[in-house]
Amino acid sequence: MARGFNYAPGASADVELAASPVATKGMLLEFGLSRNPVVRATVGARADCPLGLAVTLAHDAVAAVRAAVAANPHTQRTVLEYLAGDRQVEVLLALVRNPGLPPAVVERLAAHHKSEVRRAVVLRLAGDADAPDAAVEDAGTPELREWSLPPFAADALIPHAGAAPTRAASALTRTAPVRGFRPPPPG
């Protein structure tokens, strides 16, 4: 076999054995320790993957293995919560597409700093999680303005025709302390 191609999905008999319904728990544990990441990912995607092995695979160095565990709808909640802190977008997207993901984890991922993850959460909540390239407005996270202001305060920020901004609008302005800067006196 050519060098570098030994981990292709069909290149190893272990991949077929790991996906086989006749694989025993002992065989799954052995395949979970395989040097081939495709074999480990196949075991992590199985519905009957043991909890201890799922935990081990959730700590795997290869992102594709962690993504397989994250996409598995039978993965336990604690493992899914751990994977929600992963740095790889591939793992987080697989996690968001998992139908067994608890709502609390979905909410946590909705505020993720990577736009691809937030977009996937929006698509999941819209009921269209299988459309990864749908256009979603995400320019500068405009929803933060809605979260930071009470519902009545948004009207105070928008001056009406001929009206000057009200005192309530200036009260909502947040300033950071700056050395040498003194705020104007109230008046």
pLDDT per position as a tens digit, 72-92? 999 999 999 999 999 999 999
Cα(119)–Cα(124) distance, integer angstroms? 9
How would DSSP label each residue in 29-44? HHHTT-S-HHHHHHHH
For the cut 90, the answer to whether the pLDDT of residue 164 exceeds it is no
pTM higher than 0.85: no
The letter for the amino acid at 168 is A
Contact indicator for 78, 54 with CB cutoff of 8 Å: no
Provide the mean pLDDT of the chain: 77
pLDDT single digits (tens) 3-25: 555 555 556 788 898 999 999 99
The letter for the amino acid at 186 is P
Burial of 43 (0-12, 13-18, 19+ CB in 10 A): buried
Cα(177)–Cα(183) distance, integer angstroms? 9
Token code pair at residue 74: 């039978």
Contact indicator for 90, 79 with CB cutoff of 8 Å: no
Token code pair at residue 115: 């736009």
Contact indicator for 138, 111 with CB cutoff of 8 Å: no
